[in-house]
Structure 1
């Protein structure tokens, strides 16, 4: 029996059970300002994570609600709707977030549908984010598709999306880079990824939404070799993030003495 068929059968039974559910059958899921009421039986039938949650009575006392972390309100509504209909929404703008939520709550069929949707909308600006998300959530098909796309479109490594991925998810970028055939085994690491990016004409002063550059992140995590490669490529050691901190400020705050010395050299 396939996973989809099994879920369909158990969900049908759960819906029938709602007729005599009595009190306590409803639960309120809360994500930020969004509140969604749903039947426990339906959620539990579709998701092993919800089933375990209700079995261990993890509802908040007196109000019968569950706080859903890391899921935005609109995505939560789509997630709950899927548990009732078992139909994946065809909404390209939410496929990435919905895949993460489906993975978290064990909705394998929804996760697979979102994975196919991400593959179908691969583009130069989004390929880096798709590759990272595929690695983080163990999506082999999307991982292979994204890596193949990047190999055919090396300009991906010069996009802001790739720079953001390096800053936010360096380990995943290292894994993607290794699948691209670089760097060699003896040169893997953060500095190797930095050199790979710079070789593809990436901007060493690219910023995240918080105004941080790769040099800020190297200072924070103490990656001296990566910082040296960035400085050699023309990274601005005096640039300030949105909070006013320079890479040197960050290195001092984190007590990265080697980075402090490197960033104060004239």
Structure 2
């Protein structure tokens, strides 16, 4: 039976190669058959553990593929990546990748049909991914190493991902250091992250002067914030979180032209530097539609579920997703007072200037709910303290109207204009007096002449 299985596998594999060649040449172009799992061992505990797991799987390859003998109709699917068409067996894909396993187990279009579109992987990279799933041998592909690493992470192939962390790290240079660091942060690559941060620390001036740094600051500001934090840490702390729940680092904003003092978050402000989300959780969330991920993100923000937020963001959820009233997840985190969730969202790129149906920004929401810590957090990330909503109210108008003295004081410290007039001509003090918030009236009048 074993010999028959091996013979069958050899025939099937040749058929796959021929079928893929008819649709897209070079099924295993660039694959080095001499690179084995044993050769990829390193002194890194993370990589060694992953390699050992891969070897265990490799030992059962023949037994796994023997199931193809009885697979029957529907055993083969066509993977489509752009113009590339590759034929593969469902059983192999499901056995090697938890993403494909989930896909084929549920009632999805891919499960019922014979065609699977792979939108996030280019054709040549998909060929290498498929080669690995059949052979469990990691090729040496320096020219496409970052793309293969990203694809391996997306489809749950930890050994391949670990092997390509090494390949990407071996190519570090001043020109690609920032891109490499961002790749490591996006795909939770601890070994590659440490290598990139160490390299950048040794060449900080040269790296910061590159176009890559400038581009990253515009396209991925939240990752640049995290990278800057890692670079600033002492060497012994590079791989650990800089803060804890009991004592987080200050959130500051530069002095403005008017000499406005920097805003510092209170000690209880939690951060988003929690452990990376579980890979299995992220993979399950990737199966959800973008709309579903957006709904879950808003719900997690409302609940203050930071770990769930991180997993959804890692799975590709849109940080700018909105509900029926055009509130973002950040609006909800602010409204419910979940500072850790709000910080997680702004670090992930949430727009602090986003407006809902009433043109209220998250800072307007913080003022209305009296969230002093939220005011400090949002202005630290450059929220406009004088933004106007649909009736011309600034956040200070809202704080004054609803009697939120502590939020009003934080807004004044952040530069809110106490003399700003709404569409009816009222300044914040008018609204405070109208609703008999005497302490606020005094705060908004203090050291200023009457009018």
Q: What is the rounded CA distance, in whole Å, between the counterparts of 2:63 and 2:219 in structure 1? A: 43
The 1:166–1:39 alpha-carbon spacing in structure 2 relative to 1, beyond 3 Å, is same
**Gap runs ≥5 in structure 1:** 193-217, 228-256, 258-266
2:61 to 3, 6, 11: 11
TM-score, reference length from structure 2: 0.41
Q: How many residues align?
A: 201
2:117 to 56, 63, 67: 67
Greater RCO structure (CA 8 Å; 6+ sep): 1
1:139 matched to 2:189 = yes
2:208 to 134, 138, 157: 157
Corresponding residue of 2:166: 116
SS in 2 for 1:18: helix
Contact map agreement 2:104 2:111 (CA 8 A) in 1: no
1:79 to 129, 139, 148: 129
Greater helix share, 1 or 2? Answer: 1
Contact map agreement 1:48 1:106 (CA 8 A) in 2: yes
Contact map agreement 2:103 2:111 (CA 8 A) in 1: no
Corresponding residue of 2:95: 45
Contact map agreement 2:184 2:192 (CA 8 A) in 1: yes
1:170 to 207, 212, 221: 221
Corresponding residue of 1:186: 250
Q: What is the rounded CA distance, in whole Å, between the counterparts of 1:18 and 1:46 in structure 2? A: 14
The 1:30–1:221 alpha-carbon spacing in structure 2 relative to 1, beyond 3 Å, is farther
Corresponding residue of 1:264: none
Aligned-pair CA distance for 1:126: 0.5
- Runs of 4 or more consecutive aligned structure 1 residues displaced over 6 Å after TM superposition: 223-227
Aligned-pair CA distance for 1:17: 1.9
Aligned-pair CA distance for 1:21: 2.4
Q: What is the rounded CA distance, in whole Å, between the counterparts of 1:30 and 1:67 in structure 2? A: 5
- Taking the TM superposition and a 5 Å limit, the aligned residue runs for 1:232-243 are none
The 1:61–1:118 alpha-carbon spacing in structure 2 relative to 1, beyond 3 Å, is closer
Contact map agreement 2:174 2:207 (CA 8 A) in 1: yes
Corresponding residue of 1:248: none
1:34 matched to 2:84 = yes
Cα shift readout 1:209-246 (whole Å, capped 9, x = no counterpart): xxxxxxxxx9x87599999xxxxxxxxxxxxxxxxxxx
Contact map agreement 1:122 1:146 (CA 8 A) in 2: yes
**Gap runs ≥5 in structure 2:** 1-48, 234-247, 256-348, 354-377, 383-393, 395-451
2:108 to 55, 58, 79: 58
Cα shift readout 1:8-64 (whole Å, capped 9, x = no counterpart): 244332222223322211011111221111011111111111111111143448741
Contact map agreement 2:153 2:161 (CA 8 A) in 1: yes
How large is the Cα RMSD of the aligned pairs? Answer: 2.9
SS in 1 for 2:140: coil
TM-score, reference length from structure 1: 0.67
Q: What is the rounded CA distance, in whole Å, between the counterparts of 2:74 and 2:252 in structure 1? A: 54
Q: What is the rounded CA distance, in whole Å, between the counterparts of 2:219 and 2:110 in structure 1? A: 32
Cα shift readout 1:149-187 (whole Å, capped 9, x = no counterpart): 0010111111111122222211111111001117x9435
